[in-house]
Amino acid sequence: MFGATSVISAFCRGLREVRCLHMSQISASQVMVDGLQLNYEVKGDGDKVALCLPGALGSVESDFGPQMAELPGMGLKVVCWDPPGYGRSRPPPRQYSADILRCDAELVADMMKNLGYDKYSVLGWSDGGISGMMLAAAFPQHVEKLVIWGANAYITQEDYEIYKGIRDINTWSKKMREPLETMYGREYFKVAWEGWVDAVCSILEKQGGDICTGDLRNITCPTLIIHGAKDPVVPLFHPNYLKENIKNSELVIMENGKHNVHLRYPDEFNKLVSDFLHRA
């Protein structure tokens, strides 16, 4: 079992590495959806549209720099958003609940409709992968293909204990706190992180750990599951479960990858994604 320090380190390392990997400052676009001002970015002019969904406390800039920089040159139009309360989709602050990721899925579907996109594929990392599965299940008429990594359909007691163990940011080292404090400011980061941990843990307390297992049977589009073999945040049994329960899915294990495989190995990851999305 991986310890809390490994989990925090893996989460924050992704934020540090993306600053070295992404292109120069991304300009913001805004759209009003269901009373919320949402930040999004569009890059490229390819016929195939790929919607990127960030992970916990994630944004366009922190989570998808290498994809926004490279995938448009691989024949794709890439759309990425900051979920409400994250990145530049503030204010208002993030409003956490056990169903927040489902709310994100519905909201981003409305955003894409408002922006005029009827058909698109979904790329979701971690929490964004969970929302991506919910989106594909609920809106099969819009989602052509699904790519998910670092995602899970349920949480276990082991997951619960790890999350509880990392709730207090005062136990984190300065090096681990710094990327998120820089992005959000210490107070907002503290409140947002605690809200995220509490919301995730409530899924085990109130729902027996079930996040979206029932959605999996309703995913009909071709699905690519990518997973880092050394991921300390989401153990390998999670992607194996997804592979077994999502029809028309395939699983690719990146042997040296951890939770942030798309940031640590962007060339390999982007090629996998491009080849999959262009496949007939």
Digit-by-digit pLDDT tens for the chain (280 residues) are 445 555 666 555 555 454 433 433 445 699 999 999 999 999 999 999 999 999 999 999 899 999 999 999 999 999 999 999 999 999 999 999 989 999 999 999 999 999 999 999 999 999 999 999 999 999 999 999 999 999 999 999 989 988 898 999 999 988 888 988 999 999 999 999 999 999 999 999 999 999 999 999 999 999 999 999 999 889 999 999 999 999 999 999 999 999 999 999 999 999 999 999 999 9
Q: Which fold has domain 4-278?
A: Rossmann fold (3.40.50)
pTM above 0.75, yes or no: yes
121, 259, 262, 274: the catalytic one is 259
pLDDT digits (tens, 9 = 90+) for 113-160: 999 999 999 999 999 999 999 999 999 999 999 999 999 999 999 899
pLDDT at 162: 83
Q: Is 126 a catalytic residue?
A: yes
pLDDT at 16: 44
| 277 in Cβ contact with 48 (< 8 Å) | yes
126, 131, 249, 274: the catalytic one is 126
pLDDT at 25: 42
Q: Is 121 a catalytic residue?
A: no
pLDDT digits (tens, 9 = 90+) for 79-108: 999 999 999 999 999 999 989 999 999 999
pLDDT at 26: 44
Q: Is 231 a catalytic residue?
A: yes
Rounded to whole angstroms, the Cα distance separating 28 from 42 reads 9
62, 89, 231, 262: the catalytic one is 231
Rounded to whole angstroms, the Cα distance separating 52 from 128 reads 8
Residues 6+ apart with CB under 8 A from 123: 50, 51, 52, 53, 67, 132, 147, 148, 273
